[in-house]
Amino acid sequence: LKDDPLVQADSKCRAIVEEIIEHKTRLDRHQSEWRLGACYRATDQLVNVLLTCSSSELYYKLHWDEDWQLMDTPSVNFSGATNLAFFDGNIYIRYQNKTLNAFFPRHNACYKIYGGSPHKVVSAAMFPVGNELYSVYRGDGNAYEVESLNLNAHRQGKWSQVGKLFTRDMEVANVTNIGSRLVVFWKKTGQSYLSVECFDLTRRESFLLPDQLCSSSGLVTFTHGEQAFALQQNGVLWRISAQKEAPYISLKLELWLWNFHRAVSGAILVNQELWVFDTTEEIDGQSDVRAGAEALSLEGVFRRVRFCFVSTQQTNFVHAVVPKSFISS
């Protein structure tokens, strides 16, 4: 159209065509950047990318029916990695010695944000809230601590102490957040149930909920809008909502998706489906229960459950992200 005489004769029409050409060029450039990193990629059919890390490799999956593919990232080392976090299209990697690296898929480059310490730490979770990256880890004296790092520091970051959690004699099962409210599921040594604690990042105060989860088996979390959900390995699904008064969150049992133990390692919402990552390779005699679970749904949150089986060989953790939505699990 740009060479059409009618377009050339009309300044307004010519400006529109030039804007379309500029916009398309910009889209093509971004698309090639996304493909280079394989972290974010826009397609008509897919809005998800799945990442799983072994000791030194990063894999990605662009379509449900495709095989896992190895991402060529020679600059990234996942040995000793404990947590991943996604922010502004980049992957932040935390290690046992508190080192923090940032991998920029668009440039296929990795940068060191924080140099680490001589002491190894047990890191339970890492996630962004606004421009702050928060980390929950076991510090000295077995107490779990919360610290933050400003992501606007441009590779000059430094961790700052935020606060300590409710008790020292604890083992963290999982951590999620609703805005500035940190939700921690933990148990005391020898306990047969999980306690729930809210750490308010704004007030820097900790509140223990009266609710207790009857099983101390593992659980995974995922988010939907202003709410979070916790899915236990026995199939019980809990809804976590924010509230204005202390303890600033509430817990409600929503569904019982299955009635047997699953080795669930992760869950995430994709296109109105709840994807459950399961490291159980075979489930004998449970096909009827599984079919029933797939038919269950939670109105307004997901319409079906899809089970994704993953190999546990040399795998430290499984991580999934829905691009351009800031949703990760």
Question: Phi first, then psi: what are they for 208, rounded to 5°?
Answer: -95, 125
Lowest-confidence segment of 73-77, 91-95, 244-248, 285-289 by average pLDDT: 285-289
Average pLDDT, the chain: 70
Q: What is the pLDDT of residue 230?
A: 92
Sequence-separated (6 or more) residues with CB below 8 Å from residue 189 = 169, 171
Per-residue pLDDT at 13: 67
Question: Where is average pLDDT lowest: 27-36, 137-146, 161-170, 192-201?
Answer: 27-36
In this structure, of 123-137, 185-199, 270-284, 303-317, the range with the lowest mean pLDDT score is 303-317
The rounded Cα 242 to chain-centroid distance in angstroms is 19
pTM of the entire structure? 0.66
Domain 31-326 belongs to what topology? Neuraminidase (2.120.10)
Q: Rounded CA gap, 252 and 233, in Å?
A: 17
H, E, C per residue of the chain: CCCCHHHHHCHHHHHHHHHHHHHHHHHHHHHHHHHHHCCCCCCCCCCCEEEEEECCCEEEECCCCCCCEECCCCCCCCCCEEEEEEECCEEEEEECCCCEEEEECCCCEEEEEECCCCCCCEEEEEEEECCEEEEEEECHHHCEEEEEEEHHHCCCCCCEEEEECCCCCCEEEEEEEECCEEEEEEECCCCCCEEEEEEECCCCEEEEEEEEECCCCCEEEEEECCEEEEEECCCEEEEEEECCCCCCEEEEEEEECCCCCCCEEEEEEECCEEEEEECCCCCCCCHHHHHHHHHCCECCCECEEEEEECCCCCEEEEEEEECCCCEEC
Q: What is the pLDDT of residue 239?
A: 93
Residue range(s) occupied by CATH 2.120.10.80 in the chain: 31-326
Over the stretch 82-129, which tens digit does the pLDDT of each residue have? Answer: 777 777 767 788 887 778 888 776 677 778 887 777 666 777 778 888
For residue 247, say if its preceding peptide bond is cis, omega within 30 degrees of 0: yes
Question: Rounded to whole angstroms, how far apart are CA atoms 28 and 152?
Answer: 28
CA dihedral 287, 291, 292, 298 (to 10 degrees): 140
The pLDDT, as a whole number, for residue 34 is 28
> What six digits make up the tokens of 5?
């005489």
pLDDT, tens digit, 9 for 90 and up, residues 35-59: 222 222 333 322 233 444 444 455 5
The least confident of 135-149, 170-184, 302-316 is 302-316
Residue 23 has pLDDT above 50, yes or no: yes
Segment of 69-83, 128-142, 149-163, 303-317 carrying the highest mean pLDDT: 128-142
